[in-house]
Structure 1
Amino acid sequence: MYKISKCAFTLAVMLQASTVFAADMTMASTPGNQISRAQFLQNDTVKLPTDFHHWVHVGTFVVESGINIFDNSKIDAPLFANTYIEPSAYRHYMETGKWADGSQIVKEFTAAQNGSNCDKVSHVCKTSLGNAVYQESYTGFGYMIKDKKHFPKEAGNWAYFTSGNVKPPYPETAKAEPLGKCAACHITNASDQDYVFAAQKIGLNRNSPNNN
């Protein structure tokens, strides 16, 4: 009887320890606890991310006019805007519908092919792989950071940075843009979405079974 009781006691201790461990693991994975953050060099200066092509791509839209928002320059082809979310921020948003402090978002622009095999109106290019509008070259990116410590007075604690209208290799650092450069558009058109155009991104649709 003593041996059975001892075994039962040992098992109970092990189960209790497992329960505590599981509780700790659940707490550690609670949304927002482990948000990967931007690298600040000064209060208004950050190191631009170089690995965002490994982040979660949540959508692409086409700027048919070919006008680059960074300097209003125009090319004779559409621009694609590809949006990437840092993975921990993406998980938190998809679980809660909220952008956690520390969230990072990149919108990178690319130019469409505009060669002799491409129609000048539709920009559809004929290739051996089929006819389509293809992305051809990178033209710079915008970078949003939500950080209440560094930007306590900004709308939603978001700040906006850009590489400028440049081809890679991109600059290593950037300073926060003034209100009229990027933030004004988000404040005017996306204040009901915490200043992020989430409703326009198919990959941020929390009701889609494909995004679970």
Structure 2
Amino acid sequence: MQTRRGMIAGIVGVIGVVAWQAVATSQQQEPPDDQLPRFAPGGQLLPPVGWEAWVMVGSSTGLSYAAAPPPAAGAAPGMFHNVYVQPWAYREFIRTGAFPERTMFVLSFYEASHKSAPARAGFYEGDRMPGIEVHLKQAGIDKTGWGFFGFGDGAVPATMIPGAAPCYSCHATEAAHDQVFTQFYPPLRERLAR
């Protein structure tokens, strides 16, 4: 009888270890290759592919980091800025509260529009403006661990914006979490509030 109980306990223990390893492995899967940063032979970042299907974490209109007068009454408040992050990086951030290595944020721009039926007031996103900006987390890329890249037409590889550019110091002093303006992105802000 004791031998049988010991055998059952051993089997249950093995099943528990296997189940735990399966869960741990599923949470640490490698990100899809098409969502990872890719570099040209010269070290320039290649434009991210399929970013339009990534998780949109925030949108703003008229947001500016420089002092500017308010728009005239009835005028568009400025461009819409949409921010996307890879689905795997988003899931990891929600799980841990930290941005994993190789996280990329894509900033895209849309003109503000308001002259379309049935809209009577307000603004919506019009046509997408050319180009995107990418904020990449990668150890060693800069002393901050993050690099900025601008893609003018979205197709040509981009050289990293030098670390002396104001975007680096602004993100270092003004971003709410790990060089990222999470204060502007509701799902990320809510995760950090937990």
Q: TM-score range by the shorter chain?
A: 0.7 to 0.9
Q: List per-residue Cα deviations over 1:88-133 (Å, max 9, x = no partner).
A: 11111112221111211111111112xxxxxxxxxx4351255431
Q: 1:85 to 1:101 in 2, by over 3 A?
A: same
Answering whether residue 166 of structure 2 is matched by residue 176 of structure 1, we say no
Which residue of structure 2 lines up, in the alignment, with residue 200 of structure 1?
184
Partner in structure 2 of residue 120 of structure 1? none
Find the counterpart in structure 1 of residue 71 from structure 2.
none
SS in 2 for 1:174: coil
Alignment partners' CA distance in 2, 1:43 and 1:24: 40
| Contact 2:171–2:179 (8 Å) recurs in 1 | yes
Aligned to 1:27: 24
- Aligned pairs for 1:6-85 (under 5 A) are 9=7, 15-30=12-27, 34-35=30-31, 37-42=36-41, 44-63=43-62, 77=76, 78-85=78-85
1:141 partnered with 2:132:
yes
C-alpha separation between the residues in 1 aligned to 2:63 and 2:92?
32
For structure 2, list consecutive stretches of 5 or more residues without a partner in the other structure. Answer: 67-74
- Work out the number of aligned pairs and report it: 178
Letter in structure 2 aligned against 1:80: F
Counterpart in 1 of 2:72?
none
- Mapped to 1, the partners of 2:19 and 2:63 lie a distance apart of 51
Structure 1 position 147, deviation (Å):
0.9
8 Å contact from structure 1 (residues 125, 132) kept in 2: no
Distance 1:200 1:18, change over 3 A: same
RMSD (CA atoms): 3.3
Alpha-carbon distance in 2 for matches of 1:203, 1:43: 36
**Percentage identity across aligned positions?**
24
Distance across 1 between alignment mates of 2:174 and 2:45: 26
Q: 1:154, CA displacement in angstroms?
A: 2.3
Provide closer, same or farther for how the CA distance between residues 12 and 202 of structure 1 changes in structure 2, counting only shifts above 3 A.
same
- AA aligned to 1:160 is F
Tell me which residue corresponds to 2:100: 100
* Cα displacement string for residues 3-47 of structure 1 (whole angstroms, at most 9, x for unaligned residues): xx5xx95x666544432321112222446x634531122474122
**Per residue, is there more strand in 1 or in 2?**
1
Unaligned ranges ≥5, structure 1: 68-75, 114-123
Q: Give yes or no for contact 1:35–1:102 (8 Å, CA) kept in 2.
A: no
Give secondary structure in 2 for the equivalent of 1:101.
coil
Find out whether 1:132 has 2:116 as its counterpart.
no
**1:163 maps onto 2:151 in alignment:** yes
Relative to the length of structure 2, the TM-score reads 0.75
The answer on whether the counterparts of 2:97 and 2:192 sit within 8 Å (CA) in structure 1 is: no
TM-score (norm 1): 0.69
